[in-house]
Chains A and B, each alone.
Chain A
Amino acid sequence: GNSVTQMEGPVTLSEEAFLTINCTYTATGYPSLFWYVQYPGEGLQLLLKATKADDKGSNKGFEATYRKETTSFHLEKGSVQVSDSAVYFCALISNFGNEKLTFGTGTRLTIIP
């Protein structure tokens, strides 16, 4: 079956530090990959996505590249801000079979001023 493994948190960084949150996956077929962000007490918001190998998703300074050879989709940002504090979820959906989104367990990120 499909699975997503992401870096365990919590992660605490100082403002303007470089961020990497690792995500690797196992999937049948050719999945689409996503990063979602969840702010306290809210639902999930799509941060970025990539639908095929070597695609780079980007949004709000965050980037992630779909690496089929390493089955990875690591999230990066060059200079984090306090407002980036949230929980980040890596997820995939297979392009074959059912419609189920498979999520990682989430990584809580806290940015200190």
Chain B
Amino acid sequence: DGGITQSPKYLFRKEGQNVTLSCEQNLNHDAMYWYRQDPGQGLRLIYYSQIVNDFQKGDIAEGYSVSREKKESFPLTVTSAQKNPTAFYLCASTYMGLAGVKNEQFFGPGTRLTVL
């Protein structure tokens, strides 16, 4: 089955600790994304990557870091600099289609991070 997997589903972290969220896709998609979702709000983009070894900041990148060493993997690190990290984190990917046409993004099941 092709899809996007995120692990773990639930994650607890003590204040001051860094934590890394995993995102893997076997859809052969070029682009991958990280979003943050807070209750009653839409999704906000943290980082995205359109190609291996390259990524761009989204709207709320402060306190987060990413890497894209392989096409299928795009891990997100929530650092101790992120002031309010408790949230639901969603990873997504998409394929690069015809020039000028942007395609839908496919989402993973999410990781719920709670800072204790």
Contact = CB atoms under 8 A, between A and B. Distances in A.
Interface of A: 4, 32, 34, 36, 41-46, 49, 51, 89, 93-96, 98-101, 103-106
A41 B108 CA distance: 11
B100 A95 contact: yes
A101 B56 CA distance: 14
Interface of B: 4, 6, 31, 33, 40-43, 45, 48, 50, 56, 58-59, 90, 92, 94, 100-110, 112
Given A4-B42, A44-B107, A100-B48, 18 more contacts: A32-B103, A32-B104, A41-B110, A42-B109, A43-B109, A49-B104, A89-B42, A93-B102, A96-B100, A98-B56, A99-B31, A99-B33, A100-B58, A100-B59, A101-B43, A101-B105, A106-B40, A106-B41
